[in-house]
């Protein structure tokens, strides 16, 4: 099978690493049905620490193509430029299938372009819903699910969301590839990162913050409220550490928030994957608007405070590991300092072998498709 994987943003690199490793292992052991995977990188994340180093750190095959579409304008401009570049590659290569991950503009661009060329699309992390159509990620994930013919769901709730939208064919609950990654790479992080030591941090005596979603960064009122909470939460004995996404830094500067924030919060440049894992493992709590980091917090058994009004990962809330508080400073601080609730494990994320299940399903589908084509008249 000739497979083109389309990636563009940090969370996708981590997810793809587990599947790419499973493909390598499958090809090593299989006597037939080999998978030829080639990666197309849209360049959506254009900072080296948020893109280039991931391929080296996670042992992902180097991209065969890089469209360099990062930071070029609006969602429409970025998606259109990605689609133009993706279309050229797909027309030249004619893969048997396209594989996309998550909910970014790269995800939608890959799925829509492939579907218009009648190339089957598989979607990893299908079925997630925040039910907030103001989020561009929600639009991306809904449309991608309706374009894909293979939908790999991390939870049973995701399967149910698809059923309610009339999507049942090709749907599979595989567990979460991010959990695979946490098990594989979490054990390696301590030997590959010195970020705790280099920043002079004490494990479990600092808070980790990440903010990048447009609903927060593009709204001066929301971002100001979040900054106020982070400044108040940060103390000499338990500082807030915030690796700044490039777009978030530019918004902080535009709103006049960067200078007062710098006086109270430990701001850093974007960190590489191993450093991020160490920070997540070692933090007393994580404050984030990232869907992926909400899960990573649970995987490392670190409490999470979600700076959004809703979450796709409702099971993390139900299990007591995550508090969804929006941007209200009082709610943020209460969630940080509240007594620990009763917490329990989440079985829905699987057994750490989601990537292998995805490969098996893709190959099974390919055999069925080949058989059907061989039986077609003419």
Q: Structure tokens of 213?
A: 């979603």
Beta carbons of 265 and 238 less than 8 angstroms apart:
no
Beta carbons of 290 and 178 less than 8 angstroms apart:
no
Question: How many degrees, rounded to 5, is the angle at CA 288 between CA 331 and CA 158?
Answer: 100
Residue with structure tokens 């989440």? Answer: 346
| Distance (Å, whole) CA 157 – CA 120 | 24
Three-state secondary structure call for residue 124: strand
Dihedral of the alpha carbons of 218, 222, 223, 227, in degrees to the nearest 10? 180
Please give the DSSP secondary-structure letter assigned to residue 48. G
Beta strand segments in 102-190, E: 121-124, 150-153, 171-173
Task: Please confirm, yes or no, whether 123 is among the known catalytic residues.
Answer: no
**Pairing state of beta strands 36-41 and 2-7?**
parallel
Q: Which of 173, 212, 245, 300 is catalytic?
A: 212
On the 0-12 / 13-18 / 19+ scale of CB atoms within 10 A, 8 is buried
- Residues forming the active site: 212
């Amino acid at each position: 099978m000739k497979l083109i994987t389309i990636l563009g943003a940090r969370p996708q690199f981590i997810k793809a690493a587990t599947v790419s490793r499973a493909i390598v292992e499958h090809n090593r052991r299989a006597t037939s049905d080999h998978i030829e995977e080639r990666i197309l990188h849209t360049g959506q994340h254009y900072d080296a620490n948020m893109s280039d180093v991931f391929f080296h750190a996670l042992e992902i095959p180097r991209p065969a193509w890089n469209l360099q579409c990062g930071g070029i304008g609006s969602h429409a401009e970025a998606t259109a430029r990605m689609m133009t570049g993706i279309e050229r590659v797909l027309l030249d290569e004619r893969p048997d299938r396209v594989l996309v991950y998550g909910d970014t503009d790269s995800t939608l661009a890959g799925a829509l372009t492939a579907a218009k060329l009648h190339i089957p699309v598989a979607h990893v992390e299908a079925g997630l819903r925040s039910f907030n159509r103001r989020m561009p990620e929600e639009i991306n994930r809904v449309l991608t699910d309706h374009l894909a013919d293979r939908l790999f769901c991390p939870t049973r709730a995701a399967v149910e969301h698809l059923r309610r939208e009339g999507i049942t064919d090709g749907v599979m609950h595989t567990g979460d590839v991010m959990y695979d990654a946490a098990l594989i790479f979490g054990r390696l992080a301590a030997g590959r990162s010195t970020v705790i030591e280099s920043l002079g941090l004490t494990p479990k005596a600092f808070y980790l913050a990440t903010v990048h979603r447009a609903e927060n960064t593009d709204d001066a009122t929301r971002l100001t409220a979040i900054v106020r909470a982070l400044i108040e939460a940060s103390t000499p004995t338990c500082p807030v550490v915030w690796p700044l996404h490039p777009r978030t830094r530019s918004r902080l500067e535009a709103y006049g928030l960067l200078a007062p924030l710098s006086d109270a919060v430990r701001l850093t440049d974007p960190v590489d994957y191993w450093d991020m894992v160490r920070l997540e493992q070692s933090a007393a709590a994580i404050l984030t608007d990232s869907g992926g980091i909400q899960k990573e917090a649970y995987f490392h058994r670190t409490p999470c405070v979600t700076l959004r009004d809703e979450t796709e990962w409702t099971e993390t809330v139900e299990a007591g590991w995550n508090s969804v508080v929006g941007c209200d400073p009082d709610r943020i601080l209460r969630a940080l300092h509240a007594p620990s609730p009763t917490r329990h494990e989440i079985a829905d994320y699987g057994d750490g072998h989601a990537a292998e299940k995805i490969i098996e399903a893709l190959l099974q589908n390919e055999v069925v498709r080949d058989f059907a084509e061989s039986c077609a008249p003419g």
